[in-house]
Amino acid sequence: MLDLTLDDIARTIGGTLVLGDHAVQEGTSEVSVVNGAVDTDSREIVPGGIFVAKPGEFSDGHLYVPAAVANGADLVIVEHVIDDLTVPQIVVANSVEALGMLATEVIRRIRELGVLTVIGITGSNGKTTTKNLLRTILERQGPTIAPRDSFNNEVGAPLTMLKVEPETRFLVAEMGASAPGEITRLVRMARPDIGVVLTVGLAHAGEFGGIEKTLATKTEMVTDLLPTDVAVLNLDDYRVESMADKTRAEVLWFGLDTNAGVRAADLVQTTAGTDFTLTLPTGESQRVHFSVLGEHHVTNALAAAAVAHTVGVPLHAIVAGLESVTRAERWRMEVLPGTQGVTIINDAYNASPDSMLAGLKTLAQISGPGIRRVAILGEMSELGEFSLEEHDRIGRTIVRLGIERVFVVGEGARALHLAATHEGSWDGESAFFDTADEAYALLEGELRSGDVVLVKSSNSAGLRFLGDRLGEHFA
Residue type, 404: E
Question: In angstroms, how far is CA 92 from the centroid of its own chain?
Answer: 30
Binding residue per annotation — 459?
A: no
3-class secondary-structure state, position 343: strand
Q: How far apart are CA 383 and CA 211, in angstroms?
A: 11
Q: How far apart are CA 365 and CA 379, in angstroms?
A: 23
Question: In angstroms, how far is CA 214 from the centroid of its own chain?
Answer: 16
CB 321, CB 308: distance < 8 Å: yes
Q: How far apart are CA 208 and CA 296, in angstroms?
A: 23
Residue type, 323: E
Residue type, 161: M
Binding residue per annotation — 122?
A: no
Task: Using DSSP bridges, classify how beta strands 16-19 and 22-23 pair: parallel, antiparallel or unpaired.
Answer: antiparallel
Binding residue per annotation — 312?
A: no
DSSP 100-160: HHHHHHHHHHHHTTT--EEEEEE-SS-HHHHHHHHHHHHTTTS-EE--STT--STTHHHHH
CA angle 22, 24, 30 (to 5 degrees): 145
Rounded to 10 deg, the angle between the 436-446 and 463-474 helix axes is 30
Binding residue per annotation — 128?
A: yes
For residue 336, what are the CA distances in angstroms to 69, 135, 332, 445, 468? 42, 24, 11, 18, 8
Residue type, 225: L
In this structure, what are the phi and psi dihedrals at residue 182, rounded to the nearest 5 degrees?
-70, -35
3-class secondary-structure state, position 285: strand
Q: How far apart are CA 140 and CA 308, in angstroms?
A: 11
Binding residue per annotation — 48?
A: no
Residue type, 325: V
For residue 117, what are the CA distances in angstroms to 168, 184, 305? 9, 18, 16
Residue type, 452: V
Q: Which residues are annotated as a binding site for ATP?
A: 123-129
Q: Which residues are annotated as a binding site?
A: 123-129
